[in-house]
Structure 1
Amino acid sequence: MSDQAVKEALDTPPSAMDKFLNFIEKAGNKIPDPALLFFGGLLIVWGLSALLSQFEFGLIHPVTGQAIEINNLLTGQSLSSFLAGMVKTFTGFAPLGIVLVAMLGVGVAEASGFINTGLKKMLNITPAKLLTPTLILVAIVSHTAADAGYVLVIPLGGIIFHAAGRHPLAGIAAAFAGVSGGFSANFIPSGIDPLLAGFTQSAAQILDPTYVVNPLANLMFTGLSSIVVVAIGWYVTEKVIEPRLNQTPVDEDAEEAPDLGSFTAIESKAFNRAGWAMVLGIIALVAAVLPETSPLRSPEGEITAFAAPLMQSIVPLIFILFVIPGVVYGRVAGTFKTSDDIIKAMSATMGTMGGYIVMAFFCAQFLAAFSQSNLGTLLALSGADLLKAMNLPGQITIVGMILLTAFVNLLVGSASAKWALIGPILVPMLMAVGISPELTQAAYRVGDSVSNIISPLMVFFPLVVVYMQRYVKGAGIGTLASMMMPYSISMLIGWTLFLLAYWAVGIPLGIQAPYTYSM
């Protein structure tokens, strides 16, 4: 940026949006790491359990029929049991193993280049008129590879739009809207599905210890949500963002519009073989499930029952169906020269999960204490009594939850950390008024997605600003936030209305996913 540009930027008074974002940034910077949040929560649970254990609340557990009592966790016996079970509590934490196993497979496919090449191929063969919706769709699919969309699809969005003679910032905005704003919209199962389901199940078992949540409980809703997100993103990009960007010229010294060209023969060959390997793997799985006597079915011959080994093997299957094409691609393309390279890819992926593992340790201890204290049950039943007294329709309750989640998302970016914090309260509370954990989870996913793209505290937000500065040197956080605000508002309204309409029609949310819960 030139000295004159810097002077003009300093002389320009901050807009209301800039002031708001500055406030959010300062407030968010004071929030500690999620691991410390859970540690603090553990201390609070201990203190409250000791205090509230002295009182009677007159609430009856709807399942056991017994009076609700708060267990004091600061007694000698409780503390010794906590220490003795700390390791088991951590290793038995449901979301931990689920996420790590799934990410092992995705890590191999990503490190080999299979996923990246697939995304590039999809974008490269797109007709000009369908460039925007296809880019957003690819951005949504990229969730399957964890953070691949942030490091590949978003910068590619700018490159492709620039190559097509359109404003590159519009391509970046559209891709960002799909990757982050549509985070929970995907018709392909990904790591976020078992991750959230694990937290939802843990939260539901506070009220009903036998409750089980299928990892694909929201699959149909998130799949059809992809269409909604693509439609909203398409309209906003071409009718709102691009006309506004006409007043923002691309810098003369910006990166030149590239000639995307074609793929190398070895890349195409590797991708084709890897793709066929994945298809053959899916065919083999279907063939193994079809016979009524298949060992992958339940003893009653059902495929989608919880007792069916197939349903209990979803995460290992995700692992296998990504490892196979990843290995094939790597061998053909030369990215995997030896078997050690495959192990290194898995190790590198696990290296990125260090922060999650630390957070999971403290989260597991917090949830265990929260459950043992009966505080969750007390809050759930007290909240349920309040909701019953207010006599609000279930739809209004769900809308309120979406708005709450979207607001909290501005301050706490991690989807898993947020859900681990508020899930143990919201899930059993809504269960007590007849709303299923699966519907509550679907509402959470909407609220968690729509405000990602306007939060400067989201870890990839500054990275997107860097992508923008390749074309417009003066672009900053305020520029990006103001550009993404129309997407956020439109998705909040449109996606919420879609969930309500979806619920009204009664379309299944996913596999074994009821809308209601009966005590």
Structure 2
Amino acid sequence: MTTQSPTETSSWLNRSLNAIERIGNKLPDPAILFALLMALVWLLSWALSGVEFTDIDPRTGQAFQINNLLAASSLTEFMAKIVATFVSFPPLGVVLVAMLGLGVAEYTGFINAALRGILAVTSKHLLTPVLIAVGILSHVAVDAGYVLVIPLGAVIFYAAGRHPLAGIAAAFAGVSGGFAATLLVPSSLDPLLAGLTQASARLSADPAAASLVINPLNNYYFTTASVVVIVLLGWFLTDKVVEPRLQSTVIDGDKEQLPSMDPLSDNERKGLRFALLSMLLAAVALVVTALPADSAWRGANGDLTASSAPLMQSIVALIFVFFLLPGIVYGYVSGKVSNHRDVVQGMTKAMSGMGYYIVMAFFCAQFIYAFGQSNLGALLAIKGANFLQQMDFPMAVNLVGLVLLTAVVNLLIGSASAKWALIGAVLVPMLMQLGVSPDLTQAAYRVGDSSTNIITPLMPYFPLIVVFCQKYVKSTGIGTLVALMLPYSVSFLICWTSFLILYWSLGLPLGIGASYVYPAP
């Protein structure tokens, strides 16, 4: 029996990833790809609209029906909503508003100076785990990590003399690949998923389930422990697999727009001190106004972290303010800004760089709308859930199957809540009948939902990450990013699922008010 040496294994892996990159980059431009996929959805919806399915749609209680998008009424509705579909595309507003503030902070030099100051006191060897951990921490701020942490990851790595795409990969792995992990504080996704789990559990035939209450932190201990898995695994993959493969990738971006690595000047240090002070004062003002029990930042139930709380709904606006303010202060104190027109110029420059993303977002929004209206994604999700139910596997196999099912469906349906509303309505009551708690079923779902976020071009923020990469490597395409993130996705899927099974087999606490079995002891 012959074995491969580490060098041979690495060479084989590089050849495989290079092949994936070449194939992926031969695909049409992402904007056209979304348009072609939308046309395919239209044709499939027409072909399957006359098929009678026996699968029950948990949202309506009736048999699934594929909607014919080529019907006259559907086409006219599509045309009537094309503008609304685009402007209401969730990532669009998040990205553009956040980039206005970030654009000023970048234009005046505040971000660059702050990062150079951090690099002066931080070991280059710890940049990767710290960046991944920050990406995980960003989950508390909804989607802020996509527009804040990921581009900064590239800047940090480049300023440290490392490849910027490796920084994007590490940050993307933490923000999106580790989406189910929680560092220190719960994410806004916790109460949302718990609410859907509770609604699904109450569909059970067990009369006692009608009053079942799911704690929003029912997976908190597991998702917190998962941080160790994601950080260590992401650290190893970035430094030993991803970055070495990037050594031959030439950085050919506009040199004038790439961050400087020079030591801070006296004016820059002074500007940085005043900018950070302004940031601190703004943070203190936010805390002081949010602490009172009757604060306007709180939700109707007095909670600051509920998804309906004004504080959580203002995250993007706060990002805008928390970068606009220090950006302006730094610019004036350091002499980089002389008047208000320079501030507006910073915003304008940021928006001009988003032109390509806006084009892709338009076609991506139309595709996602068409796919949702067709009912194709929902049908595929229920088909997979029903398959697991019919196979009657052992419990460990069922958990692995749920993770894999979610991972596959995630390639087609980007929204974590939309997937869980569909899959959970079938799987939660089904596994409750087998003695499995809704809490454990939800934990398995979250692992699968996170692991393949980073390799699907249908994820709403995927085109934005391509744009971030193109700032440094102009030839970056879909294939480049998929090949870059595939090692993380496969490793997370395997290792995180194994960690879940081990965690479950050891009986470690899953979360607050949670259990592994149903009914709870």
TM-score by length of 1: 0.65
What is the CA distance between 1:124 and its match in structure 2? 1.0
Q: CA deviation at 1:428?
A: 3.2
Query: Is it true that 1:312 corresponds to 2:297 in the alignment?
Result: no
Say which SS state the counterpart of residue 295 (structure 2) adopts.
coil
Deviation, 1:228, is: 4.7
What is the Cα deviation at residue 383 of structure 1? 2.2
Per-residue CA deviations over 1:256-295 (Å, capped at 9, x if unaligned) read xxxx895322222211211121121111112112222222
Task: In structure 2, give the amino acid aligned to 1:34.
Answer: P
Q: Give the structure 2 partner of residue 68 of structure 1.
A: 64
Q: Quick one: which amino acid aligns to residue 300 of structure 1?
A: N
Contact 2:108–2:336 (CA under 8 A) maintained in structure 1: yes
Matched-pair contact (CA < 8 Å) for 2:296–2:310 = yes
| Match of residue 156 from structure 2 | 153
Give the deviation of 1:441 after TM superposition: 6.1
Is 1:123 the counterpart of 2:119? The answer is: yes
- The 8 Å contact of residues 119 and 138 in structure 1, kept in 2 or not, is answered as no
Instruction: Render the CA deviation track for 1:90-142: whole Å, top value 9, x for unaligned.
Output: 1122222122212222222222222222222222123xxx5412454257658
Relative to structure 1, the CA distance from residue 49 to residue 396 in structure 2 (aligned partners, 3 Å threshold; closer, same or farther) is same
The answer as to 2:50 corresponding to 1:54 is yes
Shift of 1:39: 1.4
Tell me if structure 2 keeps the 8 A contact 1:136–1:175.
no
The answer on whether the counterparts of 2:444 and 2:500 sit within 8 Å (CA) in structure 1 is no
1:103 and 2:110 aligned: no
Return closer, same or farther for 1:173/1:50 CA change in 2, 3 Å cut-off.
closer
- Give 1:334's aligned amino acid: G
In structure 1, C-alpha distance between the alignment counterparts of 2:388 and 2:95, rounded to whole Å: 34
After superposition, the Cα gap between the structure-2 partners of 1:81 and 1:402, relative to the gap in structure 1 and judged at 3 Å, is: closer
- Partners of 2:330 and 2:85 lie apart in 1 by 39
Counterpart residue number, 1:264: 265
Match of 2:82 among 71, 82, 86: 86
* Cα distance in 1, alignment partners of residues 470 and 90 from structure 2: 32
Unmatched runs of 5 consecutive residues or more in structure 1 = 1-13, 160-170, 209-216, 246-259, 409-417, 467-477, 509-513
Q: CA deviation at 1:57?
A: 1.0
Q: Cα gap change, 1:69/1:261 in structure 2, threshold over 3 Å: closer, same or farther?
A: closer
Q: Percent identity?
A: 38
Secondary structure of the equivalent of 1:58? coil
Aligned to 1:385: 386
Provide the C-alpha distance between the structure 2 equivalents of 1:124 and 1:98, rounded to a whole number of angstroms: 32
What whole-Å deviation, never above 9, does each CA across 1:453-505 have from its counterpart, x for those lacking one? xxxx9778899899xxxxxxxxxxx9xx99x9998876665555556678864
Instruction: Out of 80-89 and 440-449, give the one that drifted further.
Output: 440-449
Q: Which residue of 1 aligns with 2:461?
A: none
Number of equivalent positions: 423
Choose which of 101, 125, 138 in structure 2 pairs with 1:132: 125
Which secondary structure does the structure 1 equivalent of 2:62 belong to? coil
User: Residues 42-441 of structure 1: matches in 2 within 5 Å?
Assistant: 42-126=38-122, 131-134=124-127, 136-138=129-131, 141=134, 144-150=148-154, 152-158=155-161, 178-179=170-171, 181-184=173-176, 228-232=229-233, 263-391=264-392, 393=395, 395-397=399-401, 399-400=403-404, 420=414, 428-429=422-423, 432-434=426-428, 440=445
TM-score after normalising by structure 2: 0.65
Deviation of the 1:299 alpha carbon: 3.0
Q: Unaligned stretches of 5+ in structure 2?
A: 1-9, 136-144, 201-217, 246-260, 429-437, 458-464, 475-479
